[in-house]
Structure formats: C-alpha cells, structure tokens
C-alpha cells in the first residue's frame, strides 16, 4: 500500500515538473519573439517616414516624367516626349552647362579653402584657438541660405553696397556685381563657398587628426619639410577624407538653388540659372510637372554617374592606412 502511494506521488511530481518545464520553455519562446520584433517596432516610424516622404516621392517623380500634368487636368501619358522637349530646350541646356561650370569652380574653391585652413588651424594654432576657429568656420553652414543671400545681395549692391564702398577707398570704381554675367556668377560662387566650406573643413580636421605623428617624424628624418611633407605625406594619407568631402561637395553643388535664386533670379539673362532653378520654374511657375520631373530624373542620373565615376577612380588615388 505504501509502495503504491509513493509511486502515485512520484508520478504527480513528474507531471507537475514537466508542466513547469513546458511552461518555462513556452515563456522563453515568447520572450525571444518579443526580442525579435522589438527592433522593428523602434525602426517602424523611421521606415514609414522614409517610405512616405522619400521613396514614394522618388517613385512618383520617375513615373510623372512620362506624363503631361498641370494639376488642373488629368495626367496624360506621353512616353519620352518630356525628355525630348527637355533635350531640345535651350534654357535647360544652358542651365545644365551653368551648373557644371559652377560645380567645377565652386567645389575646387571649397575643397582647396577647407584643406588649407584645416592644415593651418591644426598645425599652426594652439589648442584653445582651434576650438574657436572650428566653430567660426562651421557657423555659416547652420544659417539659412536664403537669409545669407539676402544679406549678401545688399553687400554687393552696385550703388550702396559695402563691398564697393571698400573698393572705393583704394580708388577702384564701383563694380556691377549683380548686373553682369561674370560679376553675378562670381558673387554666387563666393557666397556658396563661404557658406558651405565649413563642412569640408571639419572633415579635413578629422582626417588630419587621424594621421599618426610618427609618420611626419619619419618623413622629417628623410628630409621632407614644409610643402613637401604635405605633398608626400598629408595628401596621400588624407585621400579617403578627400574622397568623401569631394563626393558630398559635388552632390550638393549640383543641387544649388538658394544662392542664385535669391541673389540674381538666374540673371542677368540665363547667366546664373541652374538645373534646380529650371525644375522649380517648370513645376511651380508654368505647372509643367511632367517636364520638371524629366529634368529631375536627368539631374539624378548625372549625379549618380559622377558619383560612380568618383568611386571608380578612387581605386587609383585613395590610399588606406
């Protein structure tokens, strides 16, 4: 009798233990499932925002390039007619030529100025002054491009601008900065470079800080001093940073809009009209959204092609430590 009772109690304990183990295993699986879905729950707002405000507009713009639509009437499919009209439009061609020329000059000035100032600040100034100049050179970038351009338009005014007043002090006559093709292009480039070189400057500061001091010491022992040190040591070791800075500078310059629009409205004539300005005028002034989308698609393809070429060529001149 006692043996049977003992066997029954043992069976009950085994069943109870197995239920607990099964329940613990089920709870562990539920916990793992929650951990698996938790990151997606945090990423969902970002994914949803990118899908609604980035991916969807891109797809809509590409599709709209094959339609003629003015908001009022229903869109009509025209195939590649918008692209053919864009290629034949002289204003569009001039705007792309202006944009390419602007990119060549502005990016060269931006990167050259940023690199020169970064070397000067990093090597010639004490630590407490470095912080000041890093903030001072980056400060224009956080300002509104429209407000900066309005301010600069008054500075470069031919009649009462501060720039011409300063030139008059040394006997130079008033320069028609914003009313001649060469003057207006120069002002747009100068204003753009002044406001945007701070980002490239900080990239170069970070790149210079990552170069080991032992490398410079070894170069000095080998007789490399002054500019030779920078040519044979700084520039090669800074090439990855230069690649990143140049890619970002070119992409931003190809999309320039605020400075030429506020300073010159694309004038005089079409001297400072850029590709993005033509997109804006086609879409919001003439309500030719299909043509504006076609220009945007062409500009995007140009940006992608230039960026791909930069990374392709980077295999030859970029050196990693």
Under the banding of pLDDT at 50, 70 and 90, the label for residue 3 is: very low
Tens-place pLDDT, residues 60-102 = 999 999 999 988 888 899 999 999 999 999 999 999 999 999 9
Lowest mean pLDDT among 25-34, 50-59, 156-165, 309-318: 25-34
- Burial class, 249, CB count within 10 angstroms (exposed 0-12 / middle 13-18 / buried 19+): buried
The average pLDDT across 182-197 equals 95
Say what the pTM is: 0.85
Percent of the chain with pLDDT over 70: 90
Under the banding of pLDDT at 50, 70 and 90, the label for residue 26 is: low
Q: Write down the pLDDT at residue 13.
A: 54
* Average predicted confidence (pLDDT) for the chain: 87
Scanning the structure block, which residue is given the tokens 């499932």?
Answer: 33
Q: Write down the pLDDT at residue 2.
A: 47
The average pLDDT across 124-140 equals 85
Structure tokens given for 312: 């392709």
Alpha-carbon dihedral angle through residues 290, 292, 294, 298, given to the nearest 10 degrees:
-170
Q: How far apart are CA 165 and CA 234, in angstroms?
A: 41
Q: How far apart are CA 197 and CA 107, in angstroms?
A: 9
Structure tokens given for 67: 């339609």
Q: Which residues, 6+ apart, have CB-to-CB distance to 299 below 8 Å?
A: 96, 254, 255, 275, 276, 279
Q: Which residues, 6+ apart, have CB-to-CB distance to 289 below 8 Å?
A: 64, 69, 70, 71, 282, 283
Give bridge partners of residue 185 from the DSSP assignment.
none
By the 8 A CB rule, do 251 and 210 touch? no
Tens-place pLDDT, residues 207-240 = 988 888 888 778 777 777 777 787 878 888 899 9
């Amino acid at each position: 009798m006692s043996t049977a009772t003992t066997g029954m109690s043992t069976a009950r304990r085994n069943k109870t233990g197995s239920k607990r183990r099964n329940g613990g295993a089920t709870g562990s699986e539920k916990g793992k499932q929650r951990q698996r879905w938790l990151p997606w729950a945090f990423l969902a707002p970002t994914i949803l925002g990118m899908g609604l405000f980035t991916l969807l507009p891109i797809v809509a713009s590409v599709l709209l390039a094959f339609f003629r639509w003015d908001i009022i009437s229903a869109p009509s499919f025209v195939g590649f007619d918008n692209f053919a009209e864009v290629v034949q439009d002289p204003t569009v061609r001039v705007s792309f030529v202006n944009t390419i020329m602007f990119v060549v000059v502005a990016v060269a000035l931006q990167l050259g100025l940023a690199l020169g100032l970064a070397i000067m600040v990093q090597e010639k100034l004490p630590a407490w002054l470095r912080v000041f100049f890093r903030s001072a050179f980056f400060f224009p970038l956080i300002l509104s491009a429209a407000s900066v351009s309005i301010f600069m338009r008054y500075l470069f005014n031919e009649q009462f601008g501060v720039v011409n007043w300063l030139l008059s002090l040394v006997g130079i006559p008033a320069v028609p900065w914003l009313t001649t093709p060469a003057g207006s292009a120069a002002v747009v480039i100068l204003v753009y470079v002044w406001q945007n070189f701070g980002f490239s400057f900080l990239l170069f500061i970070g790149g210079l800080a990552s170069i080991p001091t032992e490398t410079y010491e070894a170069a000095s022992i080998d007789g490399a001093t002054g500019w030779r040190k920078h040519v044979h040591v700084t520039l090669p070791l800074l090439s990855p940073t230069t690649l990143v800075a140049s890619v970002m500078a070119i992409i931003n310059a190809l999309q320039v809009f605020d400075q030429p629009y506020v300073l010159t409205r694309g004038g005089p004539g079409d001297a400072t009209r850029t590709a993005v300005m033509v997109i804006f005028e086609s879409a919001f002034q003439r309500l030719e959204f299909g043509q504006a989308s076609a220009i945007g698609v062409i500009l995007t393809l140009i940006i992608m092609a230039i960026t791909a070429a930069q990374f392709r060529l980077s295999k030859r001149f970029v050196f990693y430590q």
